[in-house]
Structure 1
Amino acid sequence: MRLGAPGTALGRFLHWLFEASLILKGLFALAETLSGLALWGLPGNAVFNIAQWITRRELSEDPKDAIASALLNAAQHFSIQTQSFYGFYFTSHGALKLIVVILLMRGILWAYPGAIALLFGFVAYQLYVWSLHHDISMLLLTLLDLVVIALTWREWTVRHGRAWWHR
């Protein structure tokens, strides 16, 4: 038996890590889907009204507060079209990930390569966004997705019977 084989302590840990990553991905996907639905359901000026309500007290105490001012400024430029786009994007992106997580949790064999392909698509898009804005969160999200891809590949090879340690 080799390092990382299913019966070893490392193999059991990697399986547990895969299942834990699915739970986390599922929770994030559910939150993303619900956020998208909320954006779709909000009236056009609700984002600005919420930002105004959140920042009102802080700006009354310190009119030059940088964070409160930036939040209010961003909300002022958050158009109905932008709200609709993000509502659609978050709902569809989250729902797609949620479906994949459910399929993987049920152990459906074709879902493993499908999830890997989908995650590589997300990685490509996140790297594109990073190239435009150099937002470190995109790199962290990409790193997380690459770990999940590796864990999903390992889990698929174990379930599919073509594990590298059997060669």
Structure 2
Amino acid sequence: MGEGSNSEGSFLLIDNTNVSYGGNATISGIRTVGGSGAHYNFVKYQNIDGTKFLINGLGEVAIGGGNTYGYKLAVHGNVRAQEIRVEAGPWPDFVFRPTYPLRSLSRLEKYLSMNRHLPDLPSAKEVKADGINLGDMNSKLLQKIEELTLYVIDLKKENDRQQKEINQLRRYTKTKKR
């Protein structure tokens, strides 16, 4: 990773305005550490509280800790960004197909009573243990919004039908009173 080098022992060190590259060395808390191949850490910043920044031989980056857990970027702490783009899987437009099996509200109520969370979504316990995949979760949440839209449309149709019946009954009772 040094200038003009791709050997395992090469690294780039940046400390304020000083830039150095070379072999296994320490400069102001930034150092490379031993290992080989994918386990080699190209850049590691560590203070008395532990590792704060790491780039390993797989190109994985850890910020705020020394473990990437196999992800390209692992942040041990909060992240603030102006925009994040998540590439999601299939989008739930299938909900609007005539063949979509929309669960009845009574079946949904039973499910909620038993499980205390929406179908096809993880429980709070699962989220606490495993976290969530933002792309998948956005897709699932949109699916739930689309299902809610279908429920509202059905309720509106039912409401319109009932209002029509009410109006007919009113007309009937007015003509009966005469």
TM over 0.5: no
* Structure with the higher fraction of residues in strand conformation: 2
Which structure has more relative contact order (CA 8 Å, sep 6+)? It is: 1
Q: TM-score, normalised by structure 2?
A: 0.27
* Structure with the higher fraction of residues in helix conformation: 1
